[in-house]
Structure 1
Amino acid sequence: MSTKSYYAARVEEFLLLSTEEIVGQLAIRVGSEHSGNEGNQIRAWRTQIGLLKEALTDPQCSDWGILLELPLLRLGRRIDTVILIGDCIACIEFKIGSASFGSGDIDQAVDYALCLRDFHAASHNRTIIPILCADKAALQRDRTQIEIIEGVSQCLLVNGLQLARAIELIAEEAEPNQIDWRAYDAATYSPTPDIVTAARGLYSGHTVKEIGRSDAAAESLERTAARLKAIADDARIHGKKVICFVTGEPGSGKTLLGLDMVFSGSTGRDANEPAALLSGNRPLVFVLQAAIAEDARKRLGVKAPEAKRQSQQALQTLLGYLKDHAAPDSDPPENIIVFDEAQRAWDADTGLKLLGRAKSEPELFLEIMGRLPWACLVCLVGPGQEINRGEGGLMLWGEALAKSQEWTAHISEIALRERKGLIGLLDIANGADVAINLEPELHLQTNLRAHRNHLHGSWVAALLEGDIESAASIAAEMESPPALVTRDLAEMKEWLSLRRRGEQRVGLLASSGATRLIADGIPASPRSDDLGAVVHWFLKPNGDFRSSNSLETPLSEFVCQGLEIDYAGLCWGNDLIWENRNWLPRKMRAPNWQVLKKEDAKQYRVNTYRVLLTRARAGTVIYVPNGDPGDPTRKPSDFEGVFETLQSAGCSVI
């Protein structure tokens, strides 16, 4: 019988089969994946299988399931061994020949367990225990109990002789409701890679299908990717100029699609066709550039300067692109351009300030790309994420298209008819000669980022609209609260620290307008032009004080938009308070708070918290300060209103 794992069976059958027979089955399955280290791998398997046979001799083990080389990501990651012990899952990483437990190896073992918990269908709501076995290590302290946090225990560290004791300890914790090994092996694995991991994978030649999930959400994403490429292919073949608007809530996979469009398949750089992803979000561009360059250097042996050059060709800043091609005779080399966060396009007044031309960003793009014999411009659009003055939303794109006769717009009907600042294109198009093709595939409805709470985006929208009753109703449908709240900063950091496991990242976030958080010991965020600090925050490993994991410095909306972490600690400032049954946006005009009156300024402040509340992939905890009765800029009543409202909306106190 064929299995997903390279070997899977009941433990009783595993014990009856010889080590050489099992090694043979593993070698056949691996086949051409070996690249010069066949001997080392086979020797490691022999030792590993021998240790497992010695550790599973107790009769109680007979009905358990055992899986060897269980594939996780489609990028080649495999778990050495999974043992199904009653209703518990032991996830074992072997380091054969090792006499020590490296921090990286511990993180790897824990990360495998977390991936099973979050993305493997048969592992949901199970207890998972990661084990790192360094067979030559010195004897470790014998643990007397297993500590579980959100379904996954701490990593058990054992040498070859102690493996049996670790398995025995798990058996003592397990209930007798035995997991069926066949069903477990056949279960779907639906990973949701973070944007940095996705960029690395796509740049190395994989497709959105290969690095993504295997469920309905993935099928929708793949349909959108295929439709975009078909539109681009048609434009190339027939010499057309097309603009595609891909819409969806924060975390629905828009940037992932843009990266896929540029890096893989029948279009973009993988087809030897000039293409680039552009963003006005410089921190996003620099973080992804740094991640891709580091990956190319390590994986392909590309020298650092060349790796950096390659990443900069594929990922560029919008302003740099516009400056490079401002002259009428400066035709761009890329026929395919992906414009990330196109709702943030700036207006003609901003164009005059930045480039000396009183044209909006959409007008300039259509003008520049209009010089080419064919062009495909893909605009990625997220609702409610305009956070800066001069950001005109898609109304500006409608105005630019109304002035051009050579472009065809592809957009979903949902986005076309949206009225809350998302589009405005229909109003412009009525009475203007604009060619519009309706494309239902271009609207993404599933939240991929908040993979453990797919209703999270709807909850955030209801909360920030002030519809607390609806927010509470949405929260009631969730398996877990949309967020946790606390009045204790140390408690929040402790909660985050406990989830700083494996390769998961935690970090602090705070509004750029929450200037009085400094009184609670929370420093200001790095500025959006302090790109080195932002890159370090997202990419440096645990133990480096510059890393997000150190929980020392928060990021503001300006430097975290478009990026993500696993667990976020949002420090809620009193620049957005609850008053008279609605949110009251404010700005600090030292020495006092000033209520924002202009509608766009009020919306920018609300959108700030929309960005911050949608950065986490696995969970958010919100710290609401207590305030100080002696400080008029930190009134306790302001914070109390926020704290009570968040609870009413469905948040739980830690």
Structure 2
Amino acid sequence: MVTKSYFAASVPDFLARSTEDILGRLATRVGSEHSGNETQQIRAWRIQIDLLKDALRNADSDSWGILLELPLLRLGRRIDTIILVGDVVACVEFKIGATNFTGADVDQAVDYALCLRDFHAASHGKRIVPVLCSDQACKSQLPENIDFIDDVSQCIRTNGEGLSRALLAIEDLSGGDQIDWQSYDASSYSPTPDIVTAARSLYSGHSVREIGRADATAEALERTADRLKAIAEEARRDQKKVVCFVTGEPGSGKTLLGLDLVFSGTAGRVAEEPAALLSGNRPLVFVLQAAIAEDARQREGIKADEAKRRAQQALQTLLGYLKDHADANASPPENVIVFDEAQRAWDADTGLKLLGRAKSEPELFMEIMGRLPWACLVCLVGSGQEINRGEGGLALWGEALAKSEDWTAHISEKALAAREGLLGFFDIASGLDVSLVNDPELHLNSNLRAYRNNLHGGWVAALLDGNIDKAREIADEMEHAPAFVTRDLSEMKAWLQTRRRGDQRVGLLASSGATRLVAEGVPPSPRSDSLETVVHWFLKPAGDFRSSNALETPLSEFVCQGLEIDYAGLCWGNDLIWDGQAWMPRKMRAPNWQLLRKDAEQQYRINTYRVLLTRGRAGTVIYIPVGEESDSTRRPKEFDGIFDVLVSSGCRQLS
């Protein structure tokens, strides 16, 4: 029987087979899927199999199942051993020849367990115990109690001799029906990479299909990716100019698609012609540039300067691109351009201030790319994320298209009919001569970022629309609470620290307008031009005080938009309070708060919290201060109102 794992069987079958038989099966699979010298791997497998046999003979394991070398495609690795102990999953990582337990090895074992919990269908809802077996370590480190956080326990550290005792301790945890090993092995594994991991993988030559999920969400994403490549190829073949609007809620995979189009080999680059992803979000660009440059340097052995140059060629800032091609004779080298967060395009007044030309960003782009014989401009659009003055939304794209005779727009009918910032211009300009093609596959309905709560985007929208009853209804349908809330900053940090395991990243967030959080012990965010600080925040590992994991510095909406972490701690300020009926956006006019009166300014503040509430991939905890009665800028009643409405909307109290 063909299995996903290199070897899978019941434990009695495993014990009955000879070590040579099992080795042969493992060697055959690794030889068919990988090239290279596997001699060292086979030696390690031999020791590993003998250790497992000795340990399992000492356990009441007649009903258990065992899987060897279960592939985790997202990580490009395989889990050494899975042992199904009743209704508990033991995830065992072997370090053959190791004499100690390193922090990196522990993180690896825990990360495998977390990947199973989050992305492996048969592991869903099961308790998972990561085990690190350094076979030559002096002694095992078995905990007195095995405690679980979100279904994954702390890592058990054992040497070869203590593996049997570790399995007996896990057996004591089992209290339900035995997991069927055949169903477990056949179960789907549907990983959702974070944007930094995705950028690294795509830049190294993988496609969105290879790094993505294996479910309906992935199929929809792949269809959109294929459609974008087909449109780009048609534009090249027919020598025409097209603009594609890819729409979807925050976290639906739009940036992933853009990276795929730019990075993924000949298909993505359209017959090896250059392509680039542009973003006005400088922190996003610099974080991704740093991540892929370091990855390329290590993987290809090239110098750091060359790796950085390549990264900067593929990922560029919008303003830099426009300045480079301001001259009417400066034709760009790229026929395919991806414009990230196109809903944030700035208007003609901003164009005059930044470039000395009273044209909107869409007009300038169409003018520059219009110098080429053919062009494909892909606009990635997220609704409700305009957070800055001068951002005219997608109406500007409609106006630019109406002025141009050369461009054809591809957009889904669903996005075309939307009213909340999505191409609103087209809704009122039906009489204008704009060439439109209805492309249903250019709208993404799923949420890849909140992979443990796929209804999260809808909950955020209902909450910020002030529809608290609807938000509660959505929350009641969720398997996990949409967010946790607490009035204690130290409690929030402790909750986050317990979830900083394996490669998972935690961090603090706060609105740029929440200026009085400093009185609660929350420092201000670094500015969006403090790029090195932001790169360190997203990329430095735990233990480095510059890392997000240190929980020392929050990021604002301007710095974190487009990026993501696993668990977010949102410090909610009183720049957005609840009056009992609706949200009241405010700004600080020292020494007092002032209500925002203009519709656009109100929407920017609400969109700020939309961005902040959608940064956490696995979960979010919200800190609402208690306030201080003697301080008119930190009234407890206002914070109480925020806390009460969040609880009413379905958030769960930490305590």
Q: Secondary structure at the match of 2:73?
A: coil
CA distance in 2, matches of 1:21, 1:294: 42
Distance 1:287 1:552 in 2: 19
**2-structure distance, mates of 1:313, 1:429:** 37
8 Å CA contact 1:347, 1:392 repeated in 2? yes
- Report deviation, 1:430: 1.7
What letter is aligned with 1:618?
A
Q: 1:424 offset after TM fit, Å?
A: 1.6
Unaligned runs of 5+ in 2: none
- Structure 1 residue 501: Cα displacement: 0.3
2:137 corresponding residue in structure 1: 137
Q: 1:304 and 2:304 equivalent?
A: yes
Q: Which residue of 1 aligns with 2:365?
A: 365
CA contact (8 A) 1:507 1:548 kept: yes
Deviation at 1:266, TM superposition (A): 4.4
The answer as to whether partners of 2:576 and 2:584 remain within 8 angstroms in 1 is: yes
Superposed CA deviations along residues 594-640 of structure 1, whole A, max 9, x for unmatched, are 11111101100000000000000010000000000111110001100
Instruction: Provide the rounded CA distance (Å) in 2 between the counterparts of 1:462 and 1:76.
Output: 38
**Normalization by structure 1: what TM-score?**
0.99
SS in 2 for 1:555: coil
Aligned length: 654
The aligned residue for residue 419 of structure 2 is 419
Q: Where in structure 1 are there 5+ consecutive unaligned residues? A: none
Q: In structure 2, how many angstroms separate the alpha carbons of the residues matched to 1:317 and 1:274?
A: 16
Q: Distance in 2 between matches of 1:627 and 1:606?
A: 21
1:150 correspondence with 2:166: no
> Counterpart in 2 of 1:10?
10
Task: Please tell me whether residue 643 in structure 1 is matched to residue 650 in structure 2.
Answer: no
Offset at residue 135 of structure 1 (A): 0.7
1:614 aligns with 2:589: no
Q: CA deviation at 1:274?
A: 0.6
Alpha-carbon distance in structure 2 between the residues aligned to 1:37 and 1:628: 67
Question: Which residue of structure 1 aligns with residue 282 of structure 2?
Answer: 282
Tell me what 2:432 maps to: 432
2:271 is the alignment partner of 1:256: no
In the alignment, which residue of structure 2 is the partner of 1:325?
Answer: 325
SS of the residue corresponding to residue 629 of structure 2 reads coil
Partners in 1 of 2:481 and 2:2 — Cα distance? 40
Q: Are the counterparts in 1 of residues 74 and 191 from structure 2 also a CA contact under 8 Å? A: no
Which residue of structure 2 aligns with residue 535 of structure 1? 535
Partners of 1:195 and 1:457 in 2: CA distance: 17
Counterparts of 1:513 and 1:173, CA distance in 2: 48
DSSP-derived class of the 2:329 partner: coil
1:396-545 aligned within 5 A: 396-427=396-427, 429-545=429-545
- Code of the aligned partner of 2:212: G
Give every structure 1 segment of 4 or more consecutive aligned residues whose post-TM-superposition deviation is greater than 3 Å.
32-37, 265-271
- 1:52-100 deviation per Cα after TM superposition (whole angstroms, max 9, x unaligned): 0110003621221000000111563110000000000000011101111
User: What amino acid maps onto 1:192 in structure 2?
Assistant: T
Taking the aligned partners of 1:496 and 1:143, their CA distance within structure 2 comes to 22
Q: Is the 8 A contact 1:342 1:394 kept in 2?
A: yes
Q: What does residue 555 of structure 2 align with?
A: 555
2:356 aligned partner: 356
How far apart in 2 are the matches of 1:168 and 1:70? 23
Cα distance in structure 2, aligned partners of 1:331 and 1:144: 68
The SS at the match of 1:44 is helix
Checking the alignment, whether the CA contact within 8 Å between 1:245 and 1:378 is kept in structure 2 is yes
Indicate conservation of the 8 Å contact 1:278/1:315, yes or no. Answer: yes
1:417 is displaced (CA, Å) by 1.2
Q: Are the counterparts in 2 of residues 246 and 442 from structure 1 also a CA contact under 8 Å?
A: yes
Secondary structure of the residue that 1:169 maps to in structure 2?
helix
| Contact 2:4 2:185 (8 Å CA) reproduced | yes
Work out the percentage of aligned pairs sharing the same amino acid: 72
What are the residue-to-residue correspondences of 1:206-285 with 2, within 5 Å?
206-269=206-269, 271-285=271-285
In the alignment, which residue of structure 1 is the partner of 2:314?
A: 314
Task: Tell me the equivalent position of 2:574.
Answer: 574
Q: Deviations over 1:469-528 (max 9, x none)?
A: 111111111111110000000000000000000000000000000000000110000100
Q: Read off the aligned partner of 2:31 and give its amino acid letter.
A: G
Q: Which amino acid letter does the alignment assign opposite residue 408 of structure 2?
A: T
Offset of residue 175 of structure 1? 1.8
The alpha carbon displacement at 1:432 in A equals 1.7
SS of 1:60 mapped into structure 2: coil
Conserved 8 A contact 1:86-1:175: yes
Aligned to 1:121: 121
Answer whether contact 1:139 1:158 (CA < 8 A) is retained.
yes
With over 3 angstroms needed to count, the CA separation of the structure-2 counterparts of 1:630 and 1:75, relative to structure 1, is closer
Q: Is the 8 A contact 1:410 1:438 kept in 2?
A: yes
Alignment match, 2:632:
632
TM-score scaled by structure 2? Answer: 0.99
C-alpha distance in 2 between matches for 1:425 and 1:171: 63
Shift of 1:28: 0.6
Q: 1:59 to 1:169 in 2, by over 3 A?
A: closer
Is the CA contact (8 Å cut-off) linking 2:142 and 2:157 kept in structure 1?
no
Kept in 2: contact 1:75–1:210 (CA 8 A): no
The answer on whether the counterparts of 1:399 and 1:428 sit within 8 Å (CA) in structure 2 is no
User: Is residue 6–residue 70 contact of structure 2 (8 Å, CA) maintained in 1?
Assistant: yes
- Cα separation, 1, equivalents of 2:36 and 2:199: 28
The residue matched to 2:650 in structure 1 has which SS? coil
Aligned to 1:346: 346
8 Å contact 2:59–2:168 — kept in the other structure? no
Contact 1:539 1:547 (C-alpha < 8 Å) held by counterparts:
yes
The residue aligned with 2:58 is 58
- Describe the superposition over 1:130-184 as per-residue Cα deviations: whole angstroms up to 9, x where unpaired: 0011111111343222111110000001111111110000001112511110000
Q: Which residue of 2 aligns with 1:97?
A: 97
Aligned residue for 1:91, secondary structure, equals: strand
Equivalent position amino acid for 2:285 in 1: V
CA distance in 1, matches of 2:220, 2:72: 21
**1:469 counterpart letter in structure 2:** D
Kindly state the Cα deviation for residue 271 of structure 1 after the two structures are TM-superposed: 3.9
How far residue 294 of structure 1 moved from its aligned partner, in angstroms, is: 0.8
Taking the aligned partners of 2:227 and 2:270, their CA distance within structure 1 comes to 17
Find the aligned partners of 1:265 and 1:253 in 2 and give their Cα distance.
19
Aligned to 2:31: 31
Q: Which amino acid in the other structure matches residue 91 of structure 1?
A: C
- Superposition map of 1:381-392 within 5 A: 381-392=381-392
Alpha-carbon distance between aligned partners in 2 of 1:428 and 1:347, rounded to the nearest angstrom: 19
Asked whether the 8 Å contact 2:80–2:93 carries over to 1, the reply is yes
Cα distance in 2 for residues equivalent to 1:308 and 1:145: 48
1:593 corresponds to which residue? 593
Describe the SS at the equivalent of 1:214: coil
Structure 1 residue 374 displacement after superposition = 0.4
Cα separation, partners in 2 of 1:343 and 1:191, compared to 1, 3 Å: same
Give, in whole Å, the separation in 2 of the partners of 1:143 and 1:77.
28
Q: Is the 8 A contact 2:580 2:641 kept in 1?
A: no
Identify the residue that residue 81 of structure 1 maps to in structure 2: 81
Whether contact under 8 Å (1:68, 1:79) holds in the other structure is yes
Q: CA deviation at 1:268?
A: 3.7
CA RMSD for the aligned pairs?
Answer: 1.1
User: Which position in structure 1 is the counterpart of 2:377?
Assistant: 377
Partners of 1:425 and 1:198 lie apart in 2 by: 33
